[in-house]
Amino acid sequence: MHELSLCSAIADTVREHTAGRRVERVTLQIGYLRQVVPDTLLFCWGFITDGTDLAGSELVVDHIPARISCRACGATTEIDRPILVCGSCDGTDVELISGDEFLVESIDVESVREPTQEIH
Amino acid sequence: MGRFHRHPDGTVHSHEHDHDHDHEHDHEHEHRDVGDHSGYTETGTDRVVVLEKILGENDRIADSNRADLSGHGITTVNLMSSPGAGKTTLLARTIPALEGRARIGILEGDIATSLDADALTGLGAAVSLVNTDAGFGGECHLDAIMVRAGLARLPLDELDLLIIENVGNLVCPAEFDVGQDARAMVYAITEGEEKPLKYPVMFRTAEVVVVNKMDLLPHLDFDMGLFRENLARINPDATVIELSARTGEGLEPWVEWLAGVAGIGDSGSVAGEPGQ
């Protein structure tokens, strides 16, 4: 639903870091607890980059599992929704370790290196 | 807002970093060559490790909003709900109830029309309308930039409490910090008991959940115990306030919660003078 504005924000970040170099791939880290539909995001990326300097670049989403750590028993539980209950002891005194990520992780840009021998 | 760098040994750290992108970072570069190497000019791929928050710019502006509002002595509440849950009706009850205790500003977010802003005009609050349809077909939420624009149309020196009525939507507004001090949500019992489980991120962000349309309870098969149980699984710390915005019954705990976050407590003291 808000994937279009997210793609605009991603494109701004990419341009800040690439200084006009051709972008091949943008990799995101998105935690399972974030409300983003990856397919919609990929569709919106094509739509928003079409006809721009980022046209043809690939968007890759690293979906990060959500994990909680229990302060009572020390167990780590992977969860698929934000019900923060320890899977081992049912305790609710837990800490979210991962799953909230919302990052541009890396950008692959085309590098052009000069030949080692000059042509005269 | 920190910038994260990853070092070649895999450690990641963050440090405070002014918003300056004019220099080259010490990025980790992986060269993954393609094609043969006999050509005069080689092309390959450089990997620039960024690890920057996608909503970093929004968050920076939200922090600016928060600082500006706080500088004016204003407490800000981000009020969220599904469409039709009763935010506007609740505010129409709330503004007169706080008259003489807090000077209220309303920042009204709507995809289109001024209907809600019109409904709240003339009740004693300063109202600023932000229509979000300037984007692609109407944004489904307010972001920090839109709120910043709306703030420019409010007399900030003359306010104690700002309520941001977000766009009616149970998904997107939860993801965007707009610079609020507290998040509240309105939930109507006509929506069904399972909503906290279906929209957990929204219910998880709210400090207070107003359970509205309680006047309809006799006409519905609504199970309040089940709703509260579902909410407690998602957000055990949420304050729950049952009321009817239509009849005004049960309004007082909500008004006192607002007075509490605004720092005017239950003393009934008159709001401070401008500049305090």
User: What integer pLDDT is reported at residue B272 of this predicted model?
Assistant: 42
> What pLDDT was estimated at residue A119?
55
User: Taking CA atoms, what residue in A is nearest to B19?
Assistant: A16
Residues B22 and B122 in one domain: no
Q: Mark yes or no for CB contact A106/B171 under 8 Å.
A: no
Q: Are residues B60 and B40 in the same domain?
A: no
| Minimal Cβ distance to A102: which of B25, B31, B54 | B54
Residues B17 and B101 reside in one and the same domain: no
Question: What's the CATH number of domain A3-15+22-109, 3.40.50.150, 3.30.2320.50, 3.40.50.720, 3.40.50.2300?
Answer: 3.30.2320.50
Q: Do A9 and B55 touch (CB under 8 A)?
A: yes
In a domain, B82, yes or no: yes
Facing A1 at nearest CB: one of B54, B171, B233? B171
| B119/B217 same-domain check | yes
Residue B143 belongs to a domain: yes
Report the distance separating Cα A47 and Cα A4, nearest Å: 9
B66 with B129: CB under 8 angstroms? no
Based on the fold, state whether residues B134 and B229 are members of the same structural domain: yes
Percent of the residues in chain A that have a pLDDT greater than 70, as a whole number: 92
What ranges do the domains of chain A cover?
3-15+22-109
Cβ separation of A81 and B47 shorter than 8 Å? no
Q: How many domains does chain B have?
A: 2
Angle at A84 between CA B214 and CA B144, to 5 degrees: 70
The answer to whether residues B123 and B32 belong to one domain is no
Same domain assignment for residues B145 and B23: no
| Whether residues B109 and B200 fall in one domain | yes
Q: Do the Cβ atoms of B187 and B221 come closer than 8 Å?
A: no
On whether residue B267 sits in a domain, the answer given is no
Contact B50 A104 (CB under 8 A): yes
> Helices in chain B by DSSP H: which ranges?
56-71, 87-97, 115-120, 144-151, 195-198, 200-205, 224-234, 251-261
Q: Are residues B124 and B186 in the same domain?
A: yes
* Residue B9 belongs to domain spanning: 2-46
**What is the predicted pLDDT for the residue at A112?**
73
Q: What is the pLDDT of residue B134?
A: 62
What is the Cα Rg of chain B in Å? 23
Alpha helix stretches (DSSP H) within A1-120: 3-18, 38-49
Find, among B121, B159, B151, the residue nearest to B264 by Cα.
B159
Q: Say yes or no: B36 and B79 in one domain.
A: no
B159-212 pLDDT tens trace: 999 999 999 999 889 989 999 999 999 999 999 999 999 998 899 999 999 999
- Give residue B163's pLDDT: 97
Judgement on whether residues B79 and B215 belong to the same structural domain of the protein: yes
Residues B36 and B171 in one domain: no
Q: Which residues of chain A have pLDDT under 50?
A: none
Stretches in chain B below the pLDDT threshold 50: 1-39, 267-276
- Alpha-carbon gap: A28 to the closest alpha carbon of chain B (Å): 8
